[in-house]
Amino acid sequence: MQWLIRFRVFRAIHKSSYGFHPAPWQVRCQSSSNAGAARWNDHEVPEEFNFANSVLDYWAQMEKEGKRSTNPAFWWVSSQGEELKWSFREMADLTRRVANVFTQTCGLQQGDHLALILPHVPEWWLVTVGCIRTGIIILPGTIQLKAKDILYRLQMSKAKAIVTTDTLAPEVDSVAPECPALKNKFLVSDHRRNGWLDLRSLMNSASPDHTCVKSKTMDPMVIFFTSGTTGLPKMAKHSHGLALRASFPSCRKLMDLKMSDVFWCLSDPGWVMCFFGSLIEPWTAGSTVFIHHMPRVDPKVIVQTLFKYPITQLMGVPSIFRMILQQNFTSLRFPTLKYCYTGGEAQLPEDHKEWKRQTGLLLYGIYGQSETGAACGTLREMKIKLDSTGKALAPYDIQIIDDKGNVLPPNTEGNIGIRIKPTRPLGIFMCYEGDPEKTAQSECGDFYNTGDRATMDAEGYISFLGRDDDIINASVVKAFIVLTPQFLSQDRDHLTKELQQHVKSLTAPYKYPRKVEFVPELPKTVTGKIRRSELRRKEFGLM
């Protein structure tokens, strides 16, 4: 997708009050202390919480009082190398303008649903925080969605508004007549389109004065669509508690972010990892969110960026680190990078070893899903086990359970379960919106059954094996195919390409299998079910 926000556009929007400065070669790190940062107790949940007011506005006030370093809150680099920096004070102003566009100009109200389908462009952050200010519930989506995917999401969510680019606008227009709830279509583009509202122009004329809603901690904030493959995506609804949890001391130990950190998360904006790693976690700590917009994941651009900019912490799925290692770069000794985190897929011990050998850095595993956010990870003081994603993160109590909710002994394969009784922990999803049956099915005894297969050793380290349902959570997907007799004599390379193209055209492009293996039969249980975990181990050469 060829999409770029021009430097002149931002300057035109903010020329009266915002400065745009050439990026220095290094960010000045005047302080690495979080003294005075907003904190909450692990065990005392406030009745009210709003990330925009309690976190972003807090840091804006610290800047105003000279109690925060001059590092930008947001540092964005376009695919053409143009740079944009905003302070927390500027972010606060801009997100208030967006909030007023939605509520005053378009009449959206607290509790309304807004579909947000944007790439890594600054408006994604402005719209997300603007919605949090107003209590409008955000529904993030990847830009790889097809018209039928958008139709499903708009119909199921009854979204009253959508924000997207001119690339996807025709897809939205093709299904909009079948979405009676959809009243407002916002375009983020250098061009106008009939029937669409120009978000940038509306922001320019909107007032920067806005009073944040007094949202309850347990009021809904965001809905993530699970990436269904064999089944339709479910809508995992989260409260403001998902963002509050990042402020708890126990959770802040995971990345131990400081104001001086420059954090780059490589996740697509449609997924929970981006919400977690590109917004909630770094801004809770007053760190800099760094973004390099790439039309597609490019390991060469990633490496060049890590050498050019003072990025201190990096997050991405294992396949991205694998792609970098496969390029045979002359050097991967990055000057400022200190910590790397990976999750979202099964991890290979070989990748950990090779990353450490070439970069001198460890890969810290994190496990989570759309329903849970970060559920377990490897803290700095913990030893790293190469086949593990770490231990449970408070307040989650994680156990390996069977299909009836019984806790299994150490080193026994089962389902990852998060205890939800007698108390449902803060940060776990509220429900599957509009689907009480699926919500009930996800509960297994005293646990939420994640549907992920894993083992846990005697020390509490969890080793993720794979999914046991319809969710796809790996960017390197492998298909195991059993051919019927009429196809046995056909060319396997041709069949592979035909299958991949079929999946791309039928579903979102991210769902196509990168690898295809033709096998005589699939492993099955005694009841006839496919052994998915065995296929996962076979995929990674572990059997």
Q: Is residue 487 part of a domain?
A: yes
pLDDT for the residue 331: 95
From residue 147, give the alpha-carbon distance in Å to each of 47, 175, 267, 271.
40, 7, 22, 19
Look-up: residue for tokens 């000057």? 335
Sign of CA dihedral 423, 425, 429, 430: positive
Domain that holds residue 505: 478-540
Residues 6+ apart with CB under 8 A from 59: 68, 73, 88, 283, 286
Mean pLDDT check: name the lowest of 96-100, 438-442, 538-542: 538-542
CA gap 15, 7 in Å, rounded = 11
pLDDT for the residue 17: 34
Strand partners of residue 314: 264, 340
| Domains in the chain, number | 1
pLDDT for the residue 518: 79
Q: Is residue 138 part of a domain?
A: no
Percent of the chain with pLDDT over 90: 70
pLDDT for the residue 157: 97
pLDDT for the residue 339: 97
> Measured in Å, how far apart are the chain's first and last C-alpha atoms?
39
From residue 446, give the alpha-carbon distance in Å to each of 245, 297, 419, 442, 449.
21, 40, 6, 11, 9
| Structure confidence at residue 438 as a pLDDT band (50, 70, 90) | very high
Burial class (CB in 10 A: 0-12, 13-18, 19+), 443: middle
| Structure confidence at residue 6 as a pLDDT band (50, 70, 90) | very low
Mean pLDDT of all residues in 291-320: 95
Q: Is residue 506 part of a domain?
A: yes
CA gap 236, 225 in Å, rounded = 6
pLDDT for the residue 449: 97
Q: Prior bond to 422 cis, omega within 30?
A: yes
Q: Which of 531, 492, 533 is nearest to 515 (CA)?
A: 492
CA gap 69, 264 in Å, rounded = 19
Answer yes or no: is pLDDT of 24 > 50: no
Mean pLDDT check: name the lowest of 155-164, 252-261, 466-475: 466-475
pLDDT for the residue 262: 98
Amino acid at 1: M
| Structure confidence at residue 510 as a pLDDT band (50, 70, 90) | low
* DSSP letter for each residue of 25-50: SS--------TT-----TT---SB--
**Structure token digits, residue 366:** 């994190």
What average pLDDT is seen over the chain?
86
Q: Is residue 482 part of a domain?
A: yes
Answer yes or no: is pLDDT of 318 > 70: yes
| Structure confidence at residue 387 as a pLDDT band (50, 70, 90) | confident
What are phi and psi for residue 418, nearest 5 degrees? -115, 125
Look-up: residue for tokens 């990042």? 246
Q: Which of 12, 7, 9 is nearest to 191 (CA)?
A: 9
Mean pLDDT of all residues in 438-454: 95
Mean pLDDT of all residues in 337-348: 87
Q: Is residue 528 part of a domain?
A: yes
Three-class HEC string of 76-114: EECCCCCEEEECHHHHHHHHHHHHHHHHHHCCCCCCCEE
Higher pLDDT, 154 or 493: 154
CA gap 194, 74 in Å, rounded = 32
pLDDT for the residue 543: 45
For 101-127, the pLDDT digits (tens) are 999 999 999 999 999 999 999 999 999
What are phi and psi for residue 98, nearest 5 degrees? -60, -40
* DSSP letter for each residue of 278-336: IIIHHHHTTPEEEEE--SS--HHHHHHHHHHS---EEEE-HHHHHHHHTT--S----SS
| Structure confidence at residue 497 as a pLDDT band (50, 70, 90) | confident
Answer yes or no: is pLDDT of 483 > 90: no
| Structure confidence at residue 230 as a pLDDT band (50, 70, 90) | low
Longest dimension (CA), the chain: 74
Q: Is residue 526 part of a domain?
A: yes
Residues 6+ apart with CB under 8 A from 537: 465, 543
Q: How many CA atoms lie within 13 A of 528 on its CB side?
A: 0
Mean pLDDT of all residues in 185-211: 96
Q: Is residue 12 part of a domain?
A: no
CATH number of the domain where residue 493 is located:
3.30.300.30
Q: Is residue 29 part of a domain?
A: no
pLDDT for the residue 531: 52
